[in-house]
């Protein structure tokens, strides 16, 4: 690569901060700007916002000024999408990598998906979604599937105590700390699994199987006592864990499954065991099982979410215009990270 790829970081929350920490000192990408959603972050150094030394780049809410920097790529890690921003970025010719997997398909409706694709085609740019799950862990499942001569069911399970991620806004949106009888609980959990529905379609295309329906089922665990996690509290009897499956159906059978066990702590009923990582199972000939697990206590969730998009930046900048997924890119790996 003859020059650094110019990158604008879009927000510095949990994933965005990990992306910044992953890009500082990177031999191929260079942070040239940063968008701030929160007014109090405007004017502050991006390094300081992300818990590291200053990097000499100041956060701004001036979208026009950020696009005038002519970035090659935007790392878009906001909590929720702002479609006007996404369209302007793509139209300007800047590529987008994002952890918002709902954007991989029509997760926000056909109109928004077409709007993004058309903006990318106008700008000659690409939009790529990844993360750890959805995103990278399922691509490991696809790599494993190359060993099989017949596949009956491919599943990916995320099974974690998620308290390390410490994101109250996200956890409450998922339904944590609701009464289990609250009609919102199932609805919120299913809504938070919307990105798995996009993931199943991407996996199905990669495996060459047509999905004729997507199923969802989930059950709740409730807290045995009031608990203070520091970043949020859970009330006794309220939802402290979810276990469920999003199923991609083919000919009446569940053939691709995104499964999850998400727990806040251990003191709940039922207290399902967690496998502390990502378990891939392929039922078929041969059957295959593999696991992505941390070498230490736990995966740093923000890092494992952010780096699959950071490490994809060079490939996404070189990809054809449009909404692309991992099948359109060379295998995304930790290139340039051996130091
Ligand atoms: N695929 C995966 O593996 C995976 C895993 C985890 C998360 N995610 C997704 O990645 C994205 C970022 O997650 P995160 O945990 O980093 O999020 P976060 O820390 O809660 O929020 C990220 C930033 O979004 C901005 N923001 C806050 N409220 C907002 C709102 N109502 N609308 C728009 N922007 C808002 C803030 O920007 P400022 O910093 O500028 O104030 C905030 O710091 C989310 O869409 C999440 O669903 C994906």
Q: Give 326-338 pLDDT, tens digit per residue.
A: 999 999 999 999 9
CA of 76 to the centre of ligand 1 (A): 9
CA of 325 to the centre of ligand 1 (A): 21
CA of 139 to the centre of ligand 1 (A): 23
Residue 162 predicted with pLDDT over 60: yes
Residue 145 predicted with pLDDT over 90: yes
pLDDT value, residue 3: 75
Nearest CA to ligand 1 atom 15: 14
Average pLDDT, integer, range 67-71:
98
From 57, 78, 197, mutation site for ligand 1 pocket: most ligand atoms within 8 A of C-beta: 78
Assign 17 to helix, strand or coil: helix
CA angle 137, 12, 107 (to 5 degrees): 50
Residue 121 predicted with pLDDT over 90: yes
Q: Which pairs with CB-CB distance under 8 Å and at least 24 residues apart come from 249-253?
A: 249/211, 249/212, 249/213, 249/214, 249/215, 250/204, 250/209, 250/210, 250/211, 250/212, 251/212, 253/152, 253/153
Average pLDDT, integer, range 28-48:
98
Which one, of 333, 329, 334, 335, lies nearest residue 128 by Cα? 329
Average pLDDT, integer, range 293-313:
96
Structural tokens at position 128: 């790529």
Residue 1 predicted with pLDDT over 70: no
CA of 68 to the centre of ligand 1 (A): 24
| Closest atom, ligand 1, to C-alpha of 170 | 20
* pLDDT tens digit sequence for 76-118: 999 999 999 999 999 999 999 999 999 999 999 999 999 999 9
Nearest CA to ligand 1 atom 35: 79
| Buried/exposed 86-108: b ≥16 CB within 10 Å, e otherwise | bbbbbbbbbbbbbbbbbbbbebb
Cβ 104 vs Cβ 325: under 8 Å: yes
Query: How many of the other CB atoms lie within 10 Å of CB of 175?
Result: 24
pLDDT value, residue 2: 59
Rounded CA separation 265/279 (Å): 20
Q: How distant, in Å, are the alpha carbons of 90, 207, 249 from that of 62?
A: 16, 42, 45
| Percent of the chain predicted with pLDDT > 90 | 98
Ligand 1 is surrounded, with C-beta below 6 A, by: 11-16, 36-38, 41, 77-80, 99-101, 131-135, 167, 169-170, 305
Look over the chain and give the mean of its residue pLDDT values, rounded to a whole number.
97
Assign 58 to helix, strand or coil: strand
| Closest atom, ligand 1, to C-alpha of 132 | 3
CA of 134 to the centre of ligand 1 (A): 15
CA of 165 to the centre of ligand 1 (A): 12
Rounded CA separation 143/258 (Å): 16
């Amino acid at each position: 690569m003859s020059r650094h790829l110019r990158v604008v970081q879009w927000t510095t929350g949990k994933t965005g901060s990990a992306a910044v920490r992953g890009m500082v000192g990177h031999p191929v990408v260079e942070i040239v700007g940063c968008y701030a959603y929160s007014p109090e972050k405007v004017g502050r150094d991006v390094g300081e916002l992300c818990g590291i030394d200053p990097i000499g780049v100041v956060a701004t809410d001036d979208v026009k000024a950020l696009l005038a920097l002519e970035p090659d790529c935007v790392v878009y890690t906001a909590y929720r999408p702002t479609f006007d921003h996404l369209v302007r970025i793509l139209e300007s010719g800047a590529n987008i990598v994002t952890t918002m997997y709902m954007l991989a398909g029509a997760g926000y409706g056909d109109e928004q998906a077409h709007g993004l694709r058309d903006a990318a085609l106008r700008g000659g740019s690409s939009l790529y979604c990844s993360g750890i799950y959805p995103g990278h862990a399922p691509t490991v499942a696809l790599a494993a599937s190359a060993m099989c001569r017949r596949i009956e069911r491919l599943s990916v399970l995320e099974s974690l105590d998620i308290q390390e991620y410490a994101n109250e806004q996200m956890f409450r949106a998922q339904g944590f700390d609701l009464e289990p009888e609250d009609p919102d609980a199932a609805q919120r959990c299913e809504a938070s699994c919307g990105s798995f529905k996009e993931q199943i379609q991407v996996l199905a295309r990669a495996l060459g199987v047509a999905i004729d329906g997507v199923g969802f089922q989930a059950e709740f665990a409730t807290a045995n006592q009031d608990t203070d996690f520091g970043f949020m509290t859970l009330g006794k009897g309220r939802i402290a864990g979810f276990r469920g499956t999003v199923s991609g159906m083919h000919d009446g059978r569940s053939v691709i499954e995104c499964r999850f066990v998400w727990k806040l702590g251990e003191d709940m009923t039922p207290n399902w065991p967690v496998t502390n990582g990502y378990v891939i199972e392929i039922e078929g000939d041969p059957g295959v099982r593999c696991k992505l697990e941390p070498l230490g206590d736990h995966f740093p969730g923000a890092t494992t979410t952010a780096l699959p998009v950071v490490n994809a930046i060079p490939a996404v900048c070189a990809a054809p215009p449009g909404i692309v997924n991992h099948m359109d890119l060379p295998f995304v790996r930790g290139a340039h990270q051996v130091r």
